[in-house]
Chains A and B, each alone.
Chain A
Amino acid sequence: MVNQIMPEQQSKWTYVFGVILVIYLVSLGFSYFFQDVKNSVNEKIVVLPLEGVITVDGGGSSLLSSGSGIVSGDVVKQLKDLDTDTSVKAVLLEINSPGGSAVASQEIANQIKAMHKPVYSVIREVGASGGYWIASSTNYIVASPLSITGSIGVISSYLQFNELFSKYGVTYERMVAGKYKDMGNPYANLTDEERAILQKKLDLIHDVFISTVAENRHLPEEKVRSLATGEFYLGSEAKKYGLIDSLGDRDTALTLLKQKINQTDIDVVDQTPHESFWSLLTKTSAFYFGQGFGTSFQSLSLQSSPQTPSV
């Protein structure tokens, strides 16, 4: 009877060892991926860092970095994902940005306002201009007393090269169809008429910026206009003028956010970009392809102006 149910002693021990080894390896694998899995299933507050200049396309990307700074398309996608992820109960934007493209700032600000969960922001060293535009669209702003905020203004300055070029006998051959097509060209002086047109555009963007901040911060537009001289304000000043809600740091913001959602024990997860081997590989190929394509396209550029208004 015993022999009927007993396999060979040696193969029996091999099998036992195999089962135990499999269990050990599975446990090891599970513990390795557990933190990621835990982050994906647990209710949490996500901290999204927004650092650098705000652009629409991450200009200045290199082989191993997708451009330093805040790329509006990427941030909007991240915010949409966080909004649809039911395990994310709230979002904290950790802003450290001097501003950037007006369009990119507005795209991010609009997405924040479309969110269905609380979004708070904490301004680290700088949250000025476009960075402040983004912060103002969140439900609550925390900044250090020494943070640089505000700077509600628009800039479109550029270097003028025509006098330098004329010293070396280099002249600008103007060939345009459309009177203002090369307006703002660094190789020719602006006419009074062109200057007035450009200033009008900047004023329009400034007006949008002011009215948006006034609406976001529930402040009278006149008050914001009086503050919107382009001057930056320290956190302590910004608090006095109503441009931010509280003085503090990241922990202050997280504590307030936890109180807001009534979950003091909730996990806090820092959202950092994951670069898989495959994405790095594809990005490398895409970079070289794009670089070659871009270089050949540059000579046929249809650029309207060498400088984009920045906030």
Chain B
Amino acid sequence: MKAAKVVNRPIPARLWKRAVAYGIDVFALNFVLLLPLHQILPTISLQQFSWNLFAAVDRSLILLTTFIAILTLGYWVALEWKLHQSLGKMFMKLYVIGQPYTFQQILLRNLTKPFSLLFLIDVLYLLFKGGHQRLFEVFSNTQVVEFTWSIR
């Protein structure tokens, strides 16, 4: 007779856990990223913002949003590539896995994070498709998982 073996195996992360993890990340990122920038934000002229891409907008607004986008992307990529987790995922005990697990994949899966509208589409795909992956997780062949103990 074979002895029973206790193993932990990955299962797709539950949605609420992912949402909480994302909330923690956004809070942390806003704190470290926007705290030093709070003095310069009022100097940006939002009156000049226009949906017309060819309008003469305040160029510093473009510079600032690009800077925030790069650091936002950098936060998730740096943590998930090295640790398989972001800060929020660490608290919620979630992990990113992929086959193979490369820098390019991690970059691709996080590409929508700095852009609210794109990220919304990314998440809506997950909600309406009923699966466990965002659209860019499908593209990058990665998944967020949690571990559960089971007996074999």
Mark A residues whose CB is within 8 Å of B. 1-2, 5-7, 12, 15-16, 19-20, 23-24, 26-28, 30-31, 34-35, 37-38, 41-43, 87, 265
A37 & B60 in contact (Cβ 8 Å cutoff)? yes
Chain B residues whose C-beta falls within 8 Å of the C-beta of A7 in the assembled complex: 82-83
Judge whether B64 and A27 touch: CB under 8 Å.
no
* A20, B32: Cβ atoms closer than 8 Å: yes
Binary contact track B30-71/A, C-beta < 8 Å → 1, others 0 = 001111110110010101100000001011100110010001
**A42-B60 in contact (CB<8A):** yes
Q: Is the interface of A mostly helix, strand, loop or mixed?
A: helix
For A20, what are the chain B residues with a Cβ–Cβ distance below 8 Å? 28, 32, 75, 87
Q: Tell me whether B63 and A27 are in contact (CB under 8 A).
A: no
CB distance from A118 to the nearest CB of B (A): 17
User: Whole-angstrom distance between the alpha carbons of A269 and B74 in the complex?
Assistant: 33
With A7-B83, A31-B39 known, 4 other A-B pairs at CB within 8 A are A24-B35, A31-B40, A35-B40, A38-B43
CB <8 Å contact, A27 and B33: yes
Task: Report whether A27 and B60 are in contact in the complex, using a CB–CB cutoff of 8 Å.
Answer: no
User: Which residues of chain B in 69-112 are interfacial with respect to chain A, using CB atoms and an 8 Å cutoff?
Assistant: 71, 74-75, 78-79, 82-85, 87, 90, 95, 97
B23 contacts chain A at the CB level, 8 A cutoff:
no
Known: A20-B32, A27-B33, A42-B59. A5 touches B39 (CB 8 A): no
In contact, B83 and A15 (Cβ under 8 angstroms): yes
Residues of chain A within 8 A (CB-CB) of B7 are: 1
Question: Using a CB–CB distance below 8 Å, which chain B residues touch chain A?
Answer: 7-10, 28-29, 32-37, 39-40, 43, 45, 47-48, 56, 58-60, 63-64, 67, 71, 74-75, 78-79, 82-85, 87, 90, 95, 97, 147
Show 11 residue pairs from A and B whose CB-CB distance is below 8 angstroms, ordered by the A residue: A1-B10, A16-B83, A20-B75, A20-B87, A23-B33, A27-B34, A27-B36, A27-B37, A27-B71, A41-B63, A42-B60
CB distance from B55 to the nearest CB of A (A): 12
Q: Which residues of B contact A5 (CB under 8 A)?
A: 84, 95, 97
Interface of B is mostly: helix
A38 to B28, CA, bound (A): 27
Known contacts A1-B147, A2-B147, A42-B60: does B43 contact A35 (CB below 8 Å)? Answer: yes
User: In chain A, what residue has the closest Cβ to B60?
Assistant: A38
Asked whether A37 lies within 8 Å of B37 as measured between CB atoms, the reply is: no
Contacts A31-B37, A43-B59 given: A15-B47 contact, CB under 8 Å? Answer: no
Bound-state CA distance A31–B35 (Å) is 10
On chain A, the residues within 8 Å of B90 by CB distance are: 12, 16
Shortest C-beta distance, A47 to chain B (Å), equals 18
For the complex, give the distance between the alpha carbons of A265 and B84 in Å: 47
A37: chain B residues at CB < 8 Å are 60, 63
Residue contact A24 to B95, C-beta cutoff 8 Å = no
When distances are taken between beta carbons in the complex, the residues of chain B under 8 Å from A30 are 36-37, 67
Pick from A24, A41, A87, A265: contact of B32, CB below 8 A: A24
Contact A28 to B9, CB < 8 A, known contacts A5-B84, A15-B83, A38-B43: no
> Distance in Å from the Cβ of B78 to the closest Cβ of chain A?
5
- Asked if B67 and A15 make an inter-chain contact with CB atoms under 8 angstroms apart, the answer reads no
Residues of B near A31 (CB, < 8 A) are 36-37, 39-40
Q: Are A23's CB and B75's CB within 8 A?
A: yes
A88 to chain B, nearest CB (A): 13
Least distance between A262 CB and chain B CB atoms (Å): 11
Q: Tell me the minimal C-beta distance from B114 to chain A in angstroms.
A: 13
A38 CA to B59 CA, complexed, in Å: 8
Cβ-defined contact, B39 with A16, below 8 A:
no
Bound form: Cα–Cα A65–B78 in Å: 49
- Contact of A1 (CB < 8 Å), options: B9, B40, B48, B56: B9
Contact B40 A34 (CB under 8 A): yes
Q: Which chain A residue shows the least CB distance to B32?
A: A24
- B47: chain A residues within 8 A (beta carbon): 265
Q: Give chain B residues whose Cβ lies under 8 Å from the Cβ of A16.
A: 79, 83, 87, 90
Chain B, residue nearest A18 (CB): B78
A24–B45 alpha-carbon span in the complex (Å): 24
Cα–Cα distance between A87 and B32 once the two chains are bound (Å): 32
Contact partners of B33 in chain A: CB under 8 A: 23-24, 27
